[in-house]
Amino acid sequence: MDIVYFLVQQMMIFSIPLLIVALGGLFSERSGVVNIALEGIMIIGGFASILFVNYMQSRHIMDGQLLFLCAVLVAAIAGGLFALLHAYAAINMNADQTISGTALNMFAPAFAVYAARMIQENHVQQITFNNTFRIAEVPILSKIPVIGDMFFKQAFITTYLGIAILIAAVIVLYKTRFGLRLRACGEHPQAADSVGINVYRMRYAGVVISGMLAGIGGLVFVVPTSTNFNASVAGYGFLGIAVLIFGQWKPGRILFAALFFGLMKTISSSYSGIPILLDLGINSYIYKMIPYIATLIVLAFTSRNSQAPRASGQPYDKGGR
Amino acid sequence: MNKWKSLIHSTRFLLVKSLYFQVMNKWKSLIHSTGFTNAASSLLAILVGLLFGFVIMLFSNPKEAVEGLGIILAGGFGGGAKGLGQTLYYAIPLIMTGLSVGFAFKTGLFNIGAPGQFTVGAFAAIFIGIKWTFLPAPWHWIAALIGSAVAGGLWGLIPGLFKAYLNVNEVISSIMMNYIGLYAVNFAMKAPAFKSAPALFDTTMNLSSNVAASSVIPQGFFEDIFPGSIVNYGILIAIAVAILMYVVLNKTTFGYELKACGYNRDASRYAGISEKRNIVLSMVISGALAGLGGGLVYLSGANGRRYKVVDVLLNDGFNGISVALLGLNNPIGIIFTGIFIAYITMGGEYLQKLDFVVEIISIITAAIIYFSAFALIFRKIVKRITGAKDVLQIAETDAPKPDAKEDKE
């Protein structure tokens, strides 16, 4: 059983950032703006929040879970602000959304390296932090059999944050007036406009929310796996887009896709801790390929009907039909 | 008498006048052509991007900012003939992956799989270059290049088939193929089966071994023009491929069909074009272009690039997206943007003697691409600068009728 618990804990480390970032992409695409800049926004979010953590820890102002929650806030603000650039190009300037997204993806890592080397006294691009955020045991909840061992021991607060964001996303998108309007703008903006919805404002909201979530995703990606931020999120932004498409632009399926991919990734990265898999004697590179091959195979069987928002990627033209 | 004189005068006058308007109209039709407006708006984006970079440089290191900007603008010239040669060498992968992404864009597909295609192409070229030593000189590198294009094409084929027959979004399948390609190549590079001499992988350097001399693309006259540089005929091959792509896209039925599928898939199917076949073909061609880029880069002799086994996707493929977008997906435009980005990248290398971080080049490039997204606005500005539309109309009505008609044709 210990192996199962270990695998679930590992899976969360991979799945949760993907889930958060894909949900970010969901808000943007549902409002009608393709956000290929998720990778870059993650980097900016990770950069700003880890810099914040570094500052607070080195001066002993704050630490522990409170610092982490403040860092989440910083990541969200940084990501949201950075996403405004994409929103301005896509919504006000009718720009090709792939172009401005690509520009943001290129800008973010370069800026993170540039700024880190300029700001830090030792002029290195890595920003270090002390990982004091792991929760050894959640009181009471960890006593629940099975579930307690899986989710409430050796966990990061990010796991609960990810689940909270998922629930919030479902409620906002499907149970509120705002969510209905947002989705209308992604399906048929002219129709939405004709009933008095401000398409531009809704799309701004979608892109900024997506930036905030992607920014948080950047922080959530870095914290459990490392003790420094090196201007990279290892392609997780693009994987987030893949999870979004895999999840057919629906929160529930996105959760499934993120968990599936996370499980595959867990198997590939920790096979050496699982005696049965280790005994097979397969090269580690083959294991590394598994998540991607498995995703391709699953996609082949599940992609018959694409559920992409219809107006996603098209600049809104008031006079268009 | 007076009447006759004035007649001659007026005829001559008409002739001069007609000639004048003929020239003016030619000029005006040039600067009002979409190609010119597009190029001018790209130049405007470059100017604004450079300005943005300059502001950041002023902010971080005001004393050396002006000198730094000068070094960036001097680009490859900063290293003399060698620097220019290196600029062309750096341009090879940019042009090829740019062509790959741009070609797919033209046919309505987003090939984000260029990194993987580039990597497997590189592997095929390195493998053939090291192992197939039985081939004589010209055939060896030609075979290696063909191998790289085939490998890249194969890597594009899978997303193409998935898109055409299983309706899998090509963005997601290409991303998956990137990682599969990366790990497959890293696996093969270190595989025990390829350890026998000539070994594929140089364990002491942690790089791929040098390819055989017969598989290195010849330098030819570049050796004399750019002494010390490693640039070779690869850049000519890249430019030739770009021109070929331009012809295919703009002058052939095949290219027309591919573009038609990009504009409207349903309409093309209605017109009797097999859209499934075209999706597959355009992904294969796109992949082959990126793969060939990998081959061209890694067949460059001892001082050229060698493959490093790390679990990170190569940047060349992603740079292709930038190059393609800045070149407006036009193969000829991509030649220029590829060389331009290589040029300022070289500038960035020489910039390191000052107190700047080399990433400033990526920041500038990103700003240029961002502002090039404002193309619609920039084109309006360019049109305003080159003259409003009504001026042209007045000139046309003023000019003698036959000339105007000729111009229109």
SS3 B256: helix
Place of tokens 């703006």: A33
How far apart CA A133 and CA A63 sit, in angstroms, is 9
Closest by Cβ to A93, choosing from B318, B357, B373? B373
Cβ-Cβ contacts under 8 Å for B379 (sequence gap 6 or more): B37, B38, B41
Architecture of domain A2-302: Orthogonal Bundle (1.10)
- Report the chain A residue with the minimal C-alpha distance to residue B176: A292
- pLDDT of B9 reads 65
B53 to chain A nearest CA, in Å? 11
* pLDDT at residue B407 in the model: 37
CB–CB contact B357 A118 (8 Å) = yes
Determine the residue among A94, A106, A117 to mutate to test chain B binding: the one whose Cβ has the most chain B Cβ atoms within 10 Å. A106
CA–CA distances in Å: residue B259 to residues B106, B323, B407: 6, 20, 28
Q: Whole-angstrom Cα distance, residue B155 to residue B119?
A: 10
Q: Which of A250-264, B305-319, B328-342 shows the lowest mean pLDDT across its residues?
A: B305-319
pLDDT digits (tens, 9 = 90+) for B242-263: 999 999 999 999 999 999 988 8
The one-letter code for the residue type at B348 is G
Tokens standing for A131?
């990982």
Chains A & B: contacts with CB separation below 8 Å: 142
The chain-wide mean pLDDT, for chain B, equals 86
**In this predicted model, what pLDDT tens digit does every residue of B215-229 receive, in sequence order?**
999 998 898 899 888
d(CA A146, CA B34): 66
Structure tokens at A63: 């630490």
Query: Å from A11 to nearest chain B CA?
Result: 19
A186 and A179 Cβ atoms separated by less than 8 Å? no
Q: Residue B373 is nearest to which of A103, A295, A305, comparing CB atoms?
A: A103
Q: What is the mean pLDDT of chain A?
A: 88
Q: Do B366 and A104 touch (CB under 8 A)?
A: yes
Q: Are A99 and B373 in contact (CB under 8 A)?
A: yes
What average pLDDT does range B34-63 have in this prediction?
A: 86
Interface contact flag, A235 B363, Cβ < 8 Å: no
Instruction: Express as a percent the part of chain B with pLDDT over 90.
Output: 47
d(CA B266, CA B394) in angstroms, rounded, equals 42
CB contact under 8 A, B370 and A283: no
Apex A28 CA angle, A25 and A30, nearest 5 = 100
Q: Which residues of B touch A85 (CB under 8 A)?
A: 370
Average pLDDT of span B11-20: 72
**Given the DSSP bridges, would you call strands A228-229 and A127-128 parallel, antiparallel or unpaired?**
antiparallel
Torsion of CA B245, B246, B248, B249, to 10 degrees: 110
CATH T-level topology, domain B82-354: ABC transporter involved in vitamin B12 uptake, BtuC (1.10.3470)
Question: Nearest CA of chain B to the CA of A136: how many Å?
Answer: 31
Sort out which chain A residues have CB atoms less than 8 A from B183's CB and list them: 285-286, 288-289, 292
Parse chain B into domains and list their residue ranges.
24-64+358-409, 82-354
ipTM of this complex prediction, to 2 decimal places = 0.88
CA distance A173 to A181: 9
Contact between chains at A111 and B186 (C-beta distance less than 8 A):
no
The per-residue pLDDT for B406 is: 36
The CA distance from A201 to B288, in Å, is 43
Q: Is the pLDDT score of B268 beyond 50?
A: yes
Q: Which of residues 285-314 of A touch B (CB under 8 A)?
A: 285-286, 288-289, 291-293, 295-296, 299-300, 303-306, 308
Q: List the beta bridge partners of residue B202.
A: B207
Say what the pLDDT of residue B399 is.
38
Among B60, B167, B375, the residue with its CB nearest the CB of A304 is B167
Helix (H, G, I), strand (E, B) or coil at B123: helix
A contact test, residue of B183, B344, B358 with most A CBs within 10 A: B183
CA dihedral A305, A308, A310, A314 (to 10 degrees): -140
Shortest Cα distance from B168 to chain A (angstroms)?
5
Per residue in B337-366, pLDDT tens?
Answer: 999 999 999 998 888 888 888 889 999 989
Tell whether the model's pLDDT for residue B166 goes beyond 70.
yes
Tell me the pLDDT tens digit for each residue of A19-30. 999 999 999 999
Instruction: State which amino acid sits at residue B406.
Output: E
